[in-house]
């Protein structure tokens, strides 16, 4: 009995998104079942561990759990059929071999609406997964079947939020409906289903954004061709302009800021400057950001190049008594 309690606890923790805790409980359930010889519970525990391995991105581990529970079932240890066994194996196939291979396996493992209904009822997000996989494999007909069956389940079982959210999620994927995906991401109670709905929404919005950008580029008038490419900016002229700008704006610096600028231009670190002016490194960093903003520079290298023009001869530095 302890193993089945631990198994249910693992599934509940997984439902909440507490995956590490769920894995610990499932491993405990497996150890207890093996120790006490209650082999009836071994296949569902292995299937749960396989699902958790997938959530952690461990395809090899998930595949190993699939092999173990398939062998255990073949040995007669488990006699209770469950759609979960095929479901884990199906996700492993998609992760390992892609959507086309998974679609072929879907036809074999879930050929009837009753089998799909059993899975969609038990696994929130499975209907949307079927839709997504079918669309990736280029089979919108299969996707429409899965979405329609999820909707029928919700209609036949009103008042069950899980089925309603699954139906909205599947339909949102099928029709590219962002409002439906927002609703699914909000209403799904299952952590994995909620997360995948949010990911589907992000992917849809990204696709739309890239499409609008491409259309805007295609519709933009052609840019006039220049008779000759513009001359590259002269580095010396650019440096001279930067020096003039820095010198012109230096009047905006306070005495402390001019002191910090001078010390930094000598190659001192923020910690060393802080020791010299009896301030904290955080305060030095604050002054340094203000210096960059006021004089139009962006790096310590530029500061070292220009600061000697407007710090050493200005009043205020010696007055601080630090030299």
Radius of gyration of the chain (CA): 32
Indicate the number of domains in the chain. 3
CB atoms within 10 A of CB 80: 9
User: Which CATH number does the domain housing residue 297 bear?
Assistant: 1.10.10.10
Is 65 exposed, middle or buried (CB count within 10 Å of its CB: 0-12, 13-18, 19+)? buried
Given this model, what pLDDT does residue 238 score?
A: 63
If asked whether residues 202 and 240 sit together in one domain, one would say no
| Enclosing domain of residue 152 | 115-206
* Among 63, 80, 97, residue at a domain's last position: 80
Top-confidence residue, 280 or 53: 53
Q: Does residue 164 lie in a domain region?
A: yes
- For residue range 245-268, what is the model confidence (pLDDT) as tens digits? 666 677 777 778 888 888 888 888
Q: What is the pLDDT confidence band of residue 132, given thresholds at 50, 70 and 90?
A: very high
Average pLDDT for the chain: 84
Given this model, what pLDDT does residue 317 score?
A: 43
Q: What is the pLDDT confidence band of residue 314, given thresholds at 50, 70 and 90?
A: very low
pLDDT at 311 over 80: no
Q: Does residue 271 lie in a domain region?
A: yes
If asked whether residues 119 and 201 sit together in one domain, one would say yes
If asked whether residues 200 and 239 sit together in one domain, one would say no
- Nearest residue to 150 via CA among 178, 186, 122, 177: 122
pLDDT at 78 over 90: no
pLDDT at 116 over 90: yes
Most distant pair of Cα atoms in the chain: their distance:
92
If asked whether residues 125 and 202 sit together in one domain, one would say yes
């Amino acid at each position: 009995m302890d193993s089945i309690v631990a198994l249910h606890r693992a599934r509940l923790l997984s439902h909440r998104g507490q995956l590490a805790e769920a894995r610990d409980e499932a491993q405990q359930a497996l150890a207890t079942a093996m120790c006490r010889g209650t082999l009836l519970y071994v296949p569902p525990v292995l299937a749960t561990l396989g699902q958790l391995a997938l959530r952690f991105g461990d395809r090899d581990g998930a595949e190993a759990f699939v092999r173990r529970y398939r062998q255990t079932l073949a040995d007669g240890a488990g006699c209770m059929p469950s759609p979960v066994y095929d479901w884990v194996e199906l996700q492993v196939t998609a992760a390992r071999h892609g959507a086309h291979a998974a679609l072929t396996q879907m036809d074999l493992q879930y050929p009837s609406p009753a089998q799909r209904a059993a899975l969609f009822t038990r696994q929130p997000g499975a209907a949307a997964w079927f839709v997504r996989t079918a669309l990736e494999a280029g089979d919108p007909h299969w996707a429409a079947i899965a979405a329609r069956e999820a909707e029928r389940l919700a209609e036949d079982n009103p008042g069950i939020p899980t089925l309603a959210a699954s139906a909205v999620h599947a339909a949102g994927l099928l029709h590219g409906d962002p409002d439906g995906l927002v609703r699914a991401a909000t209403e799904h109670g299952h952590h994995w289903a909620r997360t995948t709905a949010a990911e589907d929404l992000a992917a849809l919005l990204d696709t739309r954004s890239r499409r609008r950008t491409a259309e805007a580029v295609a519709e933009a008038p052609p840019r006039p061709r220049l008779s000759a490419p513009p001359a590259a900016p002269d580095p010396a002229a650019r440096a001279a302009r930067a020096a003039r700008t820095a010198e012109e704006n230096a009047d905006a610096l306070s005495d402390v800021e001019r002191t910090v600028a001078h010390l930094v231009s000598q190659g001192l670190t923020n910690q060393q400057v802080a020791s010299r002016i009896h301030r904290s490194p955080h305060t030095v960093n604050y002054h340094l950001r203000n210096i960059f903003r006021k004089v139009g520079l962006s790096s310590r290298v530029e500061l070292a190049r220009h600061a000697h023009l407007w710090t050493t001869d200005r009043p205020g530095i010696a007055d601080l008594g630090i030299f």
